[in-house]
Chain A
């Protein structure tokens, strides 16, 4: 996964994969590949979210 990937970019890509799948444009050949990418993006996004949540809790605890 690229180091420069941002949450927004990852989320956007995830949605575009979803759109592709929903629009029936994806053939079975690329389905597995896209699913793998989606899983990567999803865990990246989740990780970022957790980071933010942790930092929110840190701020709250500092008070």
Chain B
């Protein structure tokens, strides 16, 4: 029978082999698959993905003992929750330990945050490249805000300092604008952020007609804190949103993927509130400007109409006077003519009549004389009775001649 060992002997041997080969701690890069803290110690599952198949091709347990954890906490400060999180690529300094009972474990003594930051930046660039290839980078920028922003859907967390600032700023605006904001609560950091933000985006877009725009708001934080927003899914959801998306994720220099694809990105939640208020103020100003222009034009029109009316009335008052005076002149003229003509006619008739009279008188007497009558006259008076005859010269008028004779 071949020589055999007890399991303890085997494990003790392995432990010696490992201890001999890994005297010093070494730096390893890997991904945190799972992480949990138990009574001050941190336990992790570390994995490696095959770059071609993306399948897990290496896995090992890791731990950060209490003392190391204090050191790492102190070193990373606010970066800690972003780096020691599920799905994060880390560069860790590990001591390889093999325990006869518990097997192989990597004891983490140090973490290099720059590696993670670099990884995230690479990841961010990769996502941006993908979004650009799919034509999603500027898609949301083509959306339009309505004239006035009245109803907004806010993706944030009720307890986030940034959200509280934003809500107060919006509610206490000095113009008294009433903007209705509906909060869709999500976790703003960590592994759930991507899923929850995307879910909120879908939910809001289902009732897109109820909102004017979507705001994604988060307080300040380090670059790594914001890395949850360097997500392809969040980027694509923003790009494809029916409503314009405004971000106020709170960062100093670099933009997250969410910022790059958003309709508009503002530095802080307060800046988002300011933008909304100023956007509405700008509209109100324009309305007032238009209104005062309308009033100006209306005044001009009425003034012009009033002038035209006045002019027409002046003409109307003058023209009838002209017409009547013209008519009067005409009448006067006719009257004058009438008088003259009448006068002429009258005098002409008078003359004719007189001629007629003379002629008629003469004709009547001569006819009588022709028949043998004689007119006796004395002192140019016609004698009609015998007792009218006085002594003296008596004129006898015959048809053809006069005879003068003396009476006794």
Q: Which residues of A contact B (CB under 8 A)?
A: 7, 11, 14-15, 17-18, 21-22, 24, 26, 28, 31, 35, 38, 42, 45-46, 49, 52-53, 56, 59-60, 63
Contacts and interface: CB of A to CB of B under 8 A. Distances in A.
Contacts of A56: 295, 298-299, 302
A21 B298 contact: no
Contacts of A17: 316
Contacts of A60: 295
Nearest to B294: A59
A49 B306 contact: yes
A49 B305 contact: yes
A49 B309 contact: yes
Interface string B323-336: 11001000000000
B2 interface: no
Nearest to A62: B291
Contacts of B305: 7, 11, 45, 49
Contacts of A49: 302, 305-306, 309
B323 A28 contact: yes
Q: Which 10 A-B pairs have the closest CB atoms?
A: A21-B319, A38-B316, A52-B302, A45-B309, A56-B298, A42-B313, A49-B306, A49-B302, A53-B302, A18-B312
Contacts of B17: none
Which secondary structure dominates where chain B touches chain A?
helix
B320 interface: yes
Contacts of A7: 305
B58 interface: no
Contacts, number: 57
A38 to B, nearest CB: 5
Interface in B313-363: 313, 315-316, 319-320, 323-324, 327
Nearest to A8: B305
B319 A59 contact: no
B122 interface: no
B175 to A, nearest CB: 15
A6 to B, nearest CB: 13
Contacts of A42: 309, 312-313, 316
A30 to B, nearest CB: 11
Contact of B308 (A11, A22, A26, A35): A11
A38 B288 CA distance: 40
A46 to B, nearest CB: 7
B320 A18 contact: no
Contacts of A15: 312
A7 B306 CA distance: 12
Contacts of A35: 316, 320
B304 to A, nearest CB: 10
A18 B316 contact: yes
Contacts of A21: 315-316, 319-320, 323
25 contacts: A7-B305, A11-B308, A11-B312, A14-B309, A17-B316, A18-B319, A21-B315, A21-B316, A21-B319, A21-B323, A22-B319, A24-B323, A31-B324, A35-B316, A38-B316, A42-B309, A42-B313, A42-B316, A45-B305, A46-B309, A52-B298, A53-B299, A53-B302, A56-B298, A56-B302
Contacts of B288: 63
A17 B315 CA distance: 11
Contacts of B298: 52, 56
Given A11-B305, A11-B312, A21-B315, 6 more contacts: A11-B309, A18-B319, A26-B323, A42-B316, A49-B302, A53-B299
